[in-house]
Amino acid sequence: MSEQSNTAVGVGRATGFEVADRDPTELGNFGVALERNRAFAAAGGHEGALVFPTLRLFVITCLDPRVDPAYILGLGLSDAMVVRNVGGRVTPEVINDVAFIAQIGENVVPDGPLFEVAVIHHNQCGTGALADDGFRHRYAERIHADESTLRDHAVLDPAATVAHDVDLLRSSDAISPRVRVSGHVYDVVTGLVQTVATTA
């Protein structure tokens, strides 16, 4: 096994990364989802959906399939806006998204709180791979990024990274003061979400 393969295995074990066996189908990877969409539309699942979320909730979380807000939070269609990225980190692009929705919301909600942004990080996050020097170096080369900035994206202590990202949102001049922000940690082992930063 090559040194790169050894590193990949180590990173996989450290982040809880596993690949499930997939039964091959003629439909392809998206074909199964497309069939489910046809059933969804036929049952009228899309009817009555609203643009502004009924729970006044904006969720920022990881793209890890174990951390699907529809399941771990029991969200239905139109309940919340959801942004998912690697690690669920608050990036400049995410700040812009929140600012955009807040400006839209100001036209819909004349006064009072607009919505709550809930930042959710989780344990066993794949971004832990960014703490591995070899992985981080190869990834930086692949995306033409400054390697020195990538280490900070690793979610090794979810409570700490959530607190950091909540502060980024609360201190941003781009985001309306009518937007409330909270922070949470999801445990992929127990299935429980714990609040680590209450709304402010």
Q: Tell me the per-residue pLDDT of 99-137, one tens digit each, with 9 for 90 and over.
A: 999 999 999 898 999 999 999 999 999 999 999 999 999
pTM: 0.86
- 198 vs 24 pLDDT, higher one: 198
C-alpha distance across the termini of the chain, in Å: 51
Beta-strand relationship, 193-197 and 180-186: antiparallel
Per-position DSSP letters for 138-186, written without gaps between them: HHHHHHT--HHHHGGG--SSHHHHHHHHHHHHHH-TTS-TT-EEEEEEE
Mean pLDDT (whole number) for 82-101: 98
- Looking at residues 23-36, what average pLDDT do you find? 80
Distance of CA 66 to the CA centre of its chain: 11
Say which range, 25-29, 67-71, 118-122, 140-144, has the weakest mean pLDDT: 25-29
Q: What is the per-residue pLDDT across 144-186, written as a single tens digit (0 to 9) for each?
A: 999 989 999 999 999 999 999 999 999 999 999 999 999 999 9
**Taking Cα atoms as reference points, which of 10, 109, 98, 19 lies closest to residue 58?**
98
What gap in Å lies between CA 124 and CA 14, rounded to an integer?
A: 7
**Among 120, 119, 139, 147, which residue's Cα sits nearest to residue 11?**
139
pLDDT at 133: 95
Tokens linked to 31: 């074909």
What pLDDT was estimated at residue 14?
Answer: 52
From edge to edge, which strands make up the β-sheet containing 193-197?
Answer: 80-85, 57-62, 116-122, 180-186, 193-197
The pLDDT of residue 29? 85
Reported as a pLDDT band with limits 50, 70 and 90, residue 28 is confident
pLDDT at 82 over 80: yes
